[in-house]
Amino acid sequence: AELLERLTAAFNDKQLFLVYQPQIDLESGAVIGLEALLRWRREDGQMVPPDRFIPVAEQSGLIDSLGLWVFKTACHDMQRLIAAGLAPKLMAVNVSVAQFKNPAFVGQIEQALLDSGLAANRVELEITESVAALGHGVVEPLLQRLRRLGFSVAIDDFGTGYSSLAYLERLPLDRIKIDREFVSQLQQGQEARIAALIAQLGAKLGLRVLAEGIEDAAVWRKLQAIGCHEGQGFHIAKPMPFDDLPAWLREWN
Ligand code: G
Ligand code: G
Ligand code: MN
Ligand code: NA
């Protein structure tokens, strides 16, 4: 409860901000997207990791307004990049399962998108496998609505949560993100079995596959060898504040 009070105050005092991590095509190196990631810097300068405060926001319902703020801010920043002629194809925004449960969610992001003037096909929503817990009677129509609006949808942290393959196959998805746990196995020289299986699964289902957590050039090459075409990670770029993006984007290509 104490953390919730501090988080609510931080939200009101604008201590929360977004950083952006580039996503690239592993073949050409071209930047294909940016993932928006939430950060909290306390007044004393200490960072509070999202793994600590997002669950608190989810349990309290604060995630609805916080998530909407993330969405609006990411759309606004994407518009600024477009105006500067620097925007990649996609802005990826994480959406919590708790937001999905809110019946007002789709209407709210639709309105926020309209207000921003951004086209829906420039936005990808990242959801985790745990949406499966809501049941496909809920999730499938919701995803269909989002895709009809023009958003694309990615499954984040794939392979770590619960979701049956049968379930995954039915969902209208665009992309799978291989969790960095499996990508780090490549780093440690272990067999790339799970990452390779996910890449094959993606290809079979006609989905794009992106690997998270690329920390060196060797892993980048191994991912290409197993048929994974997209990636993000510290070796390419760490998540950075908006103000650092223009210079990075100009440098990279
Ligand atoms: O950026 P970092 O690796 O510290 O993020 C840790 C976790 O927090 C990741 O699982 C990430 O998806 C999640 N996260 C970061 N920003 C957001 C956000 O804006 N909304 C939601 N729901 N999750 C986020
Ligand atoms: O679960 P999600 O994909 O949303 O999490 C993204 C998180 O992963 C971000 O918080 C980001 O800081 C972190 N991250 C991104 N690239 C790397 C990487 O190469 N190595 C590690 N350890 N973490 C990374
Ligand atoms: Mn994510
Ligand atoms: Na992830």
Split into its structural domains, the chain has a count of 1
Which residue type does 8 have? T
| CA-to-CA dists, residue 213 to 3, 56, 106, angstroms | 29, 25, 30
With a threshold of 0.90, tell me whether the complex ipTM lies above it: yes
The domain of 87 spans 2-252
Residues 6+ apart with CB under 8 A from 116: 72, 75, 76, 78, 79
21 within ligand 2 shell (Cβ under 6 A): yes
Rounded distance from Cα 214 to ligand 2 centre (Å): 9
pLDDT tens digits, 81-121:
999 999 999 999 999 999 999 999 999 999 999 999 999 99
pLDDT at 130: 85
Choice from 180, 183, 234, 240 to test ligand 2 binding pocket (greatest atom count within 8 A of CB): 180
The single-letter DSSP state of residue 46 is: P
pLDDT tens digits, 121-148:
999 999 998 888 888 888 999 999 999 9
Q: Whose CA is nearest to atom 15 of ligand 1?
A: 37
What is the pairing mode between strands 208-211 and 175-178?
Answer: parallel
Which of these, 74, 79, 63, lies nearest to 11 by C-alpha position? Answer: 63
The CATH number given to whatever domain includes residue 29 is: 3.20.20.450
Residues with CB under 6 A from ligand 1: 37-38, 49-51, 54, 67, 70, 94, 96, 156
Rounded distance from Cα 133 to ligand 3 centre (Å): 18
